[in-house]
Chains A and B, each alone.
Chain A
């Protein structure tokens, strides 16, 4: 498989990227050193800071896995955000009712299935009709978003609330914290996410199914001649990718948000594209890139209190992703 190594050019580009950020900080009226100090003091060295970082990391890591899996099969899943929303919505619809001890498992399973089903037509259209997944997933994102608005203003709306939101789920339907120490909290949801990343690594690197998925993504024609049923691989990977995004949505409801509301996703599905791209070739690197995006997310929140606009983090992420994408997807000459 593709080894991941950076050349001095990439390092230089990354440094140039950070230079731009520092420049932007100065323009925004902040002193870079002070800004860094704020981040360290308020985010990186406090229990509350880490609570938020890990909370932020959970959906980013899972959605990163979702995008990564599709990417390995040669599919650009722009629709993780929509699948995330649909998963969350389906999950909350279950979790608002009491199924006894089955409530949590049922809510997770239904959320996961909903995400998978939301992605299924994308896979089918791609595999059997050649419709491009970027177009179909973007359209399904819009449908998911407006459908969720429609539902939280209608049947799912909490009658006691003024704003478009569901009611909070019952205490028994919430995923427990694994560690709770003062302001620090580590929810079991993060373990789910790490487990998914590890399972993904095992599947892609160790199983024949993963081998065939990689082959389909790397060269679908050669895969076909190697006896791989690429249509099935495409449908299966797209559906699984959606299911992981749906799981992320379910966990977001059950572990952190405890309800669903209009504008539920701040764009995690799109940040996940960066998480997956930054991870390069290895699924294990998702753990690192997911955490990095979590840290950047929290740092932005902290910085915004000192007057640095939140948009700055998006500039930073954008630059990072562009730098990596331009190196990872550059064309290499072939021999003959």
Chain B
């Protein structure tokens, strides 16, 4: 790819980016959110049209009008958000869009599917509904979908985001086998350890521009991080933690999952004033259901106490009144109303707290003050608070949501991936903000799928595996592989 420029309206997502990928290599594309990684990949496989520039495949100039043409030329992509249809079986998902003919012979399809799975060392029950499979199985199914379509160049967007460390290693081992057979793999990621360990070459993008491209052997994580951020990254220096009295007590909490199983099993833990506690675990091990139960949006059995207050059977509104705040996982659907202004979103969830509610109306002065706070705590790019929330970039939206959870004297902040979609620098600020809140007397519970992040910032780490919660012993808190083993129940 040479001289790729991509404009969205007047916004320049990519400017004059060159990318050369050797066949048979695993090539990492790194950069912060908004650096243009995904856009570049989408241009490559035809989902976006480049505004300018040239793509050569095996020396021949090519241009794809859509992803169908790209896949026909052997280029396929697994995006961060899977395109698996839960109601169909795994086999139906596999052949969807690339059926061999108008009449599908599932017997023939299954034998080829098995062959592909065997080649990759995956195991599938092909007649299982896709809704039943785990996120990591879904990932594998997506990769098989590309192989089914005879893709020779595989683009994977954050492929290990939902995998435990060991599963991630396994995935890369299989990818290496593929490249040995002549395939080429492009990995979009922000996890540098992964790049160093498994990739052959790395390209760094920042602000839509190419910063550097070199073999992995010739660089190191610190150098890469600096190139990604554009400045030297300062290490987080821990602030001493002096836990106070117990704020949140959870006893024998059982929460049902969507499929009627026990997603959280007899969970018991305490959160003390003054500490930031992380929950490590692979996605889908009950973290979501735990947060729903703590917020009161899903029924649970067991007990939840805040100080001396029994919250067990209280409504979400009462819990918010008592000082529980949520940074919801799914920003678009759970945290904000995108059609509304920043100002109207600034009080969402706080609309019945003491200072916001004036009689039956909303106190406009408090609202204005909160709108100001939520955009100022973390540096947010916006025009004015009456601007539609939708018009903020993803990172800026997340900053506002994180800042809102710190408003109106929070006691307990439940943060589900609070740094999702924001760059390293601001992620640091968000954690600093959360830590500051704890040092002022609150307690924060963070769910993250990025173990390094939790190890960097948390005072204590809990591990969640198949709905069971265990605490990482103090002496193992910096032992990445020990925590990794706890995450998958190997210990």
Asked if B315 and A226 make an inter-chain contact with CB atoms under 8 angstroms apart, the answer reads no
A215 CB within 8 Å of chain B:
yes
Interface string of B391-425 (1 = CB under 8 A from A): 11110010000000000000000000000010000
B317, B339, B360: the one contacting A2 at CB < 8 Å is B339
Expressed in whole angstroms, the Cα–Cα distance for A208 and B363 within the complex equals 9
Quick check: is A34 within 8 A (CB to CB) of the other chain? Answer: no
**B392→A215 contact, CB < 8 A:** no
Partner of A209, one of B295, B316, B360: B360
A130 within 8 A of partner (CB): no
Map CB proximity to A onto B322-357 as digits: 1 under 8 Å, 0 otherwise: 000010100011111111110010011101100001
Q: Does B362 make an interface contact (CB < 8 A)?
A: yes
**A334 & B390 in contact (Cβ 8 Å cutoff):** yes
Which of A208, A228, A335 is in CB contact (< 8 Å) with B390? A335
Q: How far, in angstroms, from A124 to B393 measured CA to CA in the complex?
A: 38
Kindly state the separation between the CA atoms of A294 and B113 in the bound complex, as whole angstroms. Answer: 64
- B344 CB contact (under 8 Å) in A1, A225, A227, A332: A1
Q: Is the CB of A222 within 8 A of B333?
A: yes
For residue B125, CB closer than 8 A to chain A, the reply is no
Contact between A227 and B315 (Cβ–Cβ < 8 Å)? yes
Contact B394 A336 (CB under 8 A): yes
- Whether A129 is near chain B, meaning CB under 8 Å from some CB there, is no
Instruction: Say whether B394 contacts A212, CB under 8 Å.
Output: no
Assembly CA distance A195 to B300 (angstroms): 46
A227 touches B340 (CB 8 A): no
CB of B175 within 8 Å of the partner chain: no
Q: Separation in Å of the B33 CB from the closest CB of chain A?
A: 9
CB distance from B319 to the nearest CB of A (A): 7
Task: Take A1-B344, A208-B357 as given contacts and tell me if A227 and B397 are in contact as well, using a CB distance cutoff of 8 Å.
Answer: no
Query: A332 contacts which of B295, B334, B390 (Cβ < 8 Å)?
Result: B390
Cβ contact within 8 Å between B334 and A225: yes
Residues of A with C-beta under 8 A to B341: 1
Residue of A nearest to B335 (CB): A222
- Closest Cβ of chain A to B142, distance in Å, is 18
Give the residue of A222, A227, A228 whose beta carbon is less than 8 angstroms from that of B336.
Answer: A222
A37 contacts chain B at the CB level, 8 A cutoff = no
Task: Select which of B320, B334, B394 is within 8 A of A221 by beta carbon.
Answer: B334
Q: Does B297 contact A (CB under 8 A)?
A: yes
On whether A218 and B339 interact (CB within 8 A), knowing A211-B351, A225-B295, A336-B421, the answer reads yes
Contact A335 B333, beta carbon cutoff 8 Å: no
Q: How far is the CB of A231 from chain B (nearest CB, A)?
A: 11
Query: Which B-chain residue is minimally distant from A209 (CB atoms)?
Result: B360
Q: Tell me the bound Cα distance from A78 to B326 in angstroms.
A: 37
CB contacts (< 8 Å) of A332 on chain B: these are: 339, 390
Minimum CB–CB distance from A224 to chain B (whole Å) comes to 5
How near does chain B come to A228, taking the closest CB pair, in angstroms?
7
CA distance A228 to B352 in the complex (A): 10
How many interface residues does chain B have, given as a range?
35 or more
A177 within 8 A of B: no
Chain A, interface residues (CB within 8 Å), range:
20 to 34
**A222 to chain B: closest CB distance in Å?**
6
Contact A224 B360 (CB under 8 A): no
- A298 CB to nearest chain B CB (Å): 36
Given the complex of chains A and B, what is the CA–CA distance between A225 and B332 in angstroms? 12
- A221 and B338 in contact (CB under 8 A), knowing A208-B357, A228-B317, A335-B397? no
B372 to chain A, nearest CB (A): 19
Interface residue B361 (Cβ < 8 Å from any Cβ of A): yes
Q: Pick from A207, A208, A218, A228: contact of B340, CB below 8 A.
A: A218
Nearest CB of B to A212, in Å: 7
Known A1-B344, A335-B392; contact A227-B319, beta-carbon cutoff 8 A? yes
Asked if A206 CB lies within 8 Å of chain B CBs, one says yes
- Is A334 in contact with B315, judged by CB distance below 8 angstroms? no
Q: Which residues of A contact B316 (CB under 8 A)?
A: 224-228
Q: Is the CB of B361 within 8 A of A207?
A: yes
A209 to B351, CA, bound (A): 10
Restricting to B425-455, which residues have a CB under 8 Å from any CB of A? Answer: none
Cα A206 to Cα B351 in complex, Å, equals 12
In the complex, which residues of chain A have a beta carbon less than 8 angstroms from the beta carbon of B315? 227, 229
Give Cα A223–Cα B320 distance, bound, in whole angstroms: 13
Complex CA distance for A336 and B34, rounded to whole angstroms: 9
**Any chain B CB within 8 A of the CB of A219?**
yes
Taking a contact as CB atoms under 8 Å apart, the answer to whether B348 and A224 are in contact is no
A2, A212, A219, A222: the one contacting B351 at CB < 8 Å is A212
A226-B349 Cα distance, complex, nearest whole Å: 4
| Most A-side CB within 10 Å, residue of B315, B338, B357 | B338
Contact flags B374-395 to A (C-beta < 8 A → 1, else 0): 0000000000000000111110
- Chain A residues lying within 8 Å of B334, measured Cβ to Cβ, are 221-222, 225
Given contacts A221-B334, A229-B317, are A215 and B393 in contact (CB under 8 A)? no
Shortest Cβ gap from A8 to chain B (Å): 18
Q: A228-B317, A335-B397 are in contact. Are A208 and B361 (CB under 8 A)?
A: yes
Name the distance in Å between A221's Cβ and chain B's nearest Cβ: 5
* Known interface pairs A211-B362, A225-B316, A226-B349; A334-B297 also in contact (CB < 8 Å): no
User: In the complex, what residues of B have CB within 8 A of residue A208's CB?
Assistant: 351-352, 357, 360-362
Give the CA-CA distance A158 to B469 in the complex, in Å.
Answer: 74
The reply to whether B339 and A215 form a contact with Cβ atoms under 8 Å apart is no
Give complex CA distance A332, B361 in Å: 30
Interchain CB contact under 8 A, A222 and B337:
yes
Name the residue among A209, A211, A215, A222 with the largest chain B CB count within 10 angstroms. A222
CB–CB B297/A225 < 8 A: yes
A229→B315 CA distance, assembly (Å): 9
Q: A207's contact among B318, B335, B339, B360, by CB below 8 Å, is which?
A: B360
Q: Which of A203-241 contact B (CB under 8 A)?
A: 206-209, 211-212, 215, 218-219, 221-229
- Chain A residues whose CB sits within 8 angstroms of the CB of B348 once the complex forms: 215, 222, 226
Rounded to whole angstroms, the CA-CA distance of A224 and B361 in the bound complex is: 20
With a CB–CB cut-off of 8 A, which chain B residues contact A221? 333-334
Complex interface bits, B300-320 against A, C-beta within 8 A gives 1, otherwise 0: 000000000000000111111
Distance, CA A223 to CA B352, complexed state (A):
13
Residues of B within 8 A of A (CB): 295, 297, 315-320, 326, 328, 332-341, 344, 347-349, 351-352, 357, 360-362, 390-394, 397, 421
20 A-B residue pairs with Cβ-Cβ distance under 8 Å, sorted by A, are: A1-B340, A1-B341, A208-B352, A208-B357, A208-B360, A211-B347, A211-B351, A212-B351, A218-B337, A218-B339, A219-B336, A219-B337, A222-B335, A224-B316, A225-B295, A226-B348, A332-B390, A334-B332, A335-B391, A335-B393
Ordered nearest first, which 4 A-B pairs have the shortest CB separation?
A227-B317, A226-B349, A227-B316, A336-B394
Other CB < 8 Å A-B pairs besides A222-B337, A229-B317, A335-B393, 12 of them?
A: A206-B361, A209-B360, A211-B344, A219-B338, A224-B297, A225-B349, A226-B349, A226-B351, A227-B317, A228-B316, A228-B317, A336-B394
